[in-house]
Amino acid sequence: MKKTFVYTGIIAAFAIIALIIFSNLTERKDKLSLFTESYRGKFEITINTAGELIAEKSVDILGPEIAQRSRDIRASNITIQDLIPEGTVVEKGDYIATLDRTQYANNLTDMYERLETFKTNFEVRLLDTSVILNDLRNDIKNQRFNVSEAAMTLRNSQYESPSIIRQAEINLDQAQRLLGQKEKYYTLRVAQLERDINITKIRLSRVTRSIEELEDLIASFTITAPSTGMVIYKRDRRGNKRKVGSMISAFDRAVATLPDLSTLMSGIYINEIYVSKVKSGQKVDIKVDAFPDRQYKGTVVNVANIGEVLPNSDSKMFEASIKIDGTDPELRPSMTTDNKIYIKTFDDVVYIPLDCVRTGADSIPVVYTKHGVKQVVIPGESNDKFVVIEQGLEEGTMLYIRMPEKPEKFKLAGEELIPLIKERLKTRNNNYESNTIATGNVTENSDFS
């Protein structure tokens, strides 16, 4: 029994000691987490954004050109019926895709029927013309006999009475005038029938030409590579890749692209909040998700002037392009990228975490030091985690990260900076009011920038 009490006491003692040690370590850790120090060194203001590799130059693989063809062929959207896998390396002339030709095949059937109708009508027209003209020629021939007969009657009536001679003359004149009318009508009728035949020929020729063009068009629905390269699916205006079942139009005929892999870009979209900070010429660090151990350098080459609303985004996004320095044969278009754009870089400044800076109702920024000082500071540029301290703080000062207990007991220092801070605030407010009156817009401003 005594041994049991002894063991129990030893175990209890060890438990108390362990609890005390754990409590001290926890308290020490909590105390350490309350503080940080001010740093001196290189300070960078950056913007991180995801993107996608694209080729600076590429050749579009186009569907058939419909808009410039004959008026019998109407342009319409065409469905992609078959398409080789993205990333396939092809040679010039290799198969790429097949478009749905159903609509135009039906049109071709209708045109064949029209062609047969025109051919039949043309043959009937030729036969009718031959019959009509033959009748007219026989009629003229008969009238010429009538004229000859009237002339003979007039000659034989020379010894008859004047009235009989006059009647013979009248009959001859009538026969001659009727012959002239028939000959003139024949000429007009020939011209009319020739015109009708020519019109039928033109219609027949137009339908024949339309059939030939439609046959050529349908043949072009099998698309081949215009050059050697790697097939990358084309994105439409909404950013969606065209694939089997997608549609192309007469004004946007690209089915896929063959990018030039020697010069790649990282295509990104920048939120409207940050777009004013991104300029051409800024340096960028680029990482590709497919190769996490590699890092590439690049430069911003252009930023769009007009924003757009992307799917699943409520704010305007501005498209920008980053040119990647050098080449890497393993990089491929459409690979996801992580881009770190350097907005500003300061080589030797003092900076602290943003959480250390406190601003009261008087808008005077202060920090609380471990030695019980409430230090007035002048903040400068900042990034998402740290802020530059232009005046009021030295390197290595231990600071409270969170608001300390009983801050009223801390001794105020740096009061000489307050007039300069107020002057900056006054200047900022004047500029803010001027911009608001001039533009009619209200924009959010930081206290110090």
What tokens does 361 get? 């109702």
Is it the case that residue 429 has pLDDT exceeding 50?
yes
How confident is the model over 149-172, as a mean pLDDT?
A: 89
Query: What is the residue-wise DSSP string for 229-282?
Result: EE-EEPB-TTSPBP-TT-EEBTTB-EEEEEE-TTSEEEEEEEETTTGGG--TT-
Helical (H) or strand (E) element with 373:
strand 373-376
What tokens does 31 get? 């105390």
Q: For position 227, what pLDDT does the model report?
A: 87
pLDDT in tens, 21-48: 544 444 444 444 689 999 999 999 999 9
pLDDT band at 441 (very low <50, low <70, confident <90, very high): very low
pLDDT band at 434 (very low <50, low <70, confident <90, very high): low
Report d(CA 343, CA 384) in Å as an integer: 12
Half-sphere exposure of residue 279: CA atoms within 13 angstroms, side-chain side: 5
How confident is the model over 91-117, as a mean pLDDT?
A: 88
Helical (H) or strand (E) element with 150:
helix 102-156
Q: For position 330, what pLDDT does the model report?
A: 87
Is it the case that residue 448 has pLDDT exceeding 50?
no
Q: For position 29, what pLDDT does the model report?
A: 41
pLDDT band at 108 (very low <50, low <70, confident <90, very high): confident
Q: For position 312, what pLDDT does the model report?
A: 73
pLDDT in tens, 251-309: 888 889 898 888 899 999 999 988 999 999 999 999 999 999 999 999 999 999 998 88
Q: For position 17, what pLDDT does the model report?
A: 58
